[in-house]
Amino acid sequence: MTQSIPVKPKAALNEAARHQRLMELIEAEDAANGEVGCGRDSGNRISGYFSTREIALEDEKLKRFLQEHLGHILMEPDFDAIGTQIQRQLESLVIPASSQSLGSELPPASTNVTAHIPTEALKELFQSQLAEFCSEAALEQLIQFSHQIIHKAVLRPRHTWASPIWVLRSETQIYIAQAAGIEEAIAKVKTQHPQETGKLEVITVRGILAPDQVISLDMNLL
Amino acid sequence: MEGSGQDDEYWNWVGKSRRSKLLPGDELYAIECEGITQGLMMLDVLKKRCQIESQLRRRLVYISALATAPWNRPVITNPPTYKGVGGNLVDFAVARSYELGYQGRIGLHALTGALGFYRKLRLGLLDCGPDPEEPDHLVYFETLRMDDP
């Protein structure tokens, strides 16, 4: 199932450049004491992840379904986010109990959750793809979860979020600017601080994964 | 490692993953040396899209999972057998992204202990902060390309 990685990634990359890149990679690894993991925590959780990898909702089918029912309120980025969360919830429902911290618990139940998609339609979609993997109770949980996250998305669709907040650094200053994109953020800094003529480096951005995010800066990065 | 209580007592997930069925767009890669798997990476080249506003919904290569063998991790085995395994895997993900016409864009959710690694990789990965939709609120990184039309 694994695929081969070509021994020579780029023929043109000369030995010196490769050596330099390797030194950079090692320096980066050393900065994290050799910890490089991403995606899923290691240990039994990742083994569970792989062992249940085949249990999934068909991504395109789910998004088409959401588009049909919610296309008048939400847009593609909202469907991406809803699809991702339903998929993660599904994983946590089918992964063995030892990996409960992956997030199998439902978000706190809200008393004011409106069903924006008929429960029967959701059930039909899930059953057609998951009936052999999930118990009736697990499917019910998934439906309940879906209603909750869809309701949350409808209350605050992505296109209504404020512009992201960019944190930029020059040689001597830190700038925080709210703008749709990085170019606009840099332009704002240069306009409002014309004395700033040096190169600006973006340290972090908030407000693209969720609205109203608090910015927390690691002092070691400043 | 099994039974040691270490994070990696389940390193045998390598074997499991090789037998598992993959979803459309999933690609599994390993770095091997002397017939032994030194690191493993799962990519999703189809289903994930960019989240940064200026490149919203463009395609990217998403690193679904990346781990190095326990003997290559100083926390478990010091000194490690090999260094640079994780970095080479990430560089490969970038190369794969170029190959697919995604302009080298990658995305990933870094484990807490690995934040320093991804911040120092010199790949233009932007720290987008903790992802509230992730069960563990892992920090999301995405390649920011400023030269797009």
Q: What is the pLDDT of residues B5-39, one digit of tens each?
A: 444 445 555 554 555 567 889 999 999 998 898 99
Query: pLDDT band for position A104 (50/70/90)?
Result: very low
| Minimum distance, in Å, between the CA of residue B121 and any CA atom of chain A | 6
C-alpha distance from residue B32 to each of A2, A51, A133, B65, B129 (Å): 11, 22, 34, 17, 33
On average, the pLDDT of chain A sits at 85
Q: Residue A97 above 50 pLDDT?
A: no
Query: What are the boundaries of each domain within chain A?
Result: 45-159, 165-221
Give the highest mean pLDDT range of A10-24, A85-99, A181-195. A181-195
The predicted structure's pLDDT at residue A102? 40
Query: pLDDT band for position B104 (50/70/90)?
Result: very high
Query: pLDDT band for position A111 (50/70/90)?
Result: low
The predicted structure's pLDDT at residue B97? 98
- How many residues belong to chain B? 149
Confidence (pTM): 0.86
Could A1 and B17 be called an inter-chain contact, meaning their C-beta atoms sit closer than 8 Å? yes
Residue that is written with structure tokens 């600006």 in the block: A200
The number of angstroms, rounded, from the C-alpha of B88 to the middle of its chain's C-alpha atoms is: 10
Residues 33-62 of B with CB under 8 A from A: 42, 46-47, 49, 51-54, 56-57
CATH of the domain at B34: 3.40.630.30
Residue that is written with structure tokens 């199932």 in the block: A1
Residue B15 lies in a domain: no
Say yes or no: B7 contacts chain A, CB-CB below 8 A.
Answer: yes
Residue B66 lies in a domain: yes
Query: pLDDT band for position A133 (50/70/90)?
Result: confident
Q: Which of A171-180, B2-11, B97-106 has the lowest mean pLDDT?
A: B2-11
Q: Record the tokens describing residue A73, joined without a space.
A: 């309120």
Number of domains within chain B: 1
Residue to test with chain B: of A29, A64, A202, A214, most B Cβ within 10 A: A29
Residues of chain A found within 8 Å of residue B87, distances taken between Cβ atoms: 22, 24-26, 28-29, 36
Query: pLDDT band for position A91 (50/70/90)?
Result: confident
Pairing relation of β-strands A174-178 and B26-33? unpaired
Assess contact for A74 and A157: CB atoms under 8 A. Answer: yes
Please count the other Cβ atoms lying within 10 Å of the Cβ belonging to residue A51. 18
- Give one DSSP letter per residue of B34-81, joined into a string: TTEEEEEEEEESSS-B--SGGGTT-B-EEEEEEEE-GGG-TTTSSS-S
Say which of A29, A35, A59 has its CB closest to residue B111.
Answer: A35
The predicted structure's pLDDT at residue B12? 55
Q: Residue B58 above 60 pLDDT?
A: yes
> Strand pairing partners for B141?
B108, B127
Percent of chain B with pLDDT over 70: 84
| Minimum distance, in Å, between the CA of residue B89 and any CA atom of chain A | 9
Instruction: Look at residues B39, B32, B84 and name the one whose alpha carbon lies nearest to residue B63.
Output: B39
| A32/A36 Cα distance (integer angstroms) | 7
The predicted structure's pLDDT at residue B134? 85
Residue B6 lies in a domain: no
The count of CB pairs under 8 A between chains A and B is: 225
Q: Record the tokens describing residue A186, joined without a space.
A: 């840099």
The predicted structure's pLDDT at residue A113? 83
- Give one DSSP letter per residue of A83-143, joined into a string: HHHHHHHHHHHHS-GGGGGGT-SPPPPPTT---SS-HHHHHHHHHHHHTTTS-HHHHHHHH
> Strand pairing partners for B43?
B27, B63
Instruction: Look at residues A162, A220, A194 and name the one whose alpha carbon lies nearest to residue B120.
Output: A220
Say yes or no: B104 contacts chain A, CB-CB below 8 A.
Answer: no
Residues of chain A found within 8 Å of residue B17, distances taken between Cβ atoms: 1, 50, 53
Residue B40 corresponds to which amino acid?
Answer: L
Q: Residue B102 above 90 pLDDT?
A: yes
Query: pLDDT band for position B2 (50/70/90)?
Result: very low
| Minimum distance, in Å, between the CA of residue B103 and any CA atom of chain A | 16
| B14/A120 Cα distance (integer angstroms) | 40
Instruction: Look at residues A139, A83, A55 and name the one whose alpha carbon lies nearest to residue B133.
Output: A83
The predicted structure's pLDDT at residue A7? 56
Could A25 and B118 be called an inter-chain contact, meaning their C-beta atoms sit closer than 8 Å? no
Q: What is the ipTM of this complex?
A: 0.87
Structural domain containing residue B93: 22-143
Q: Residue A137 above 70 pLDDT?
A: yes
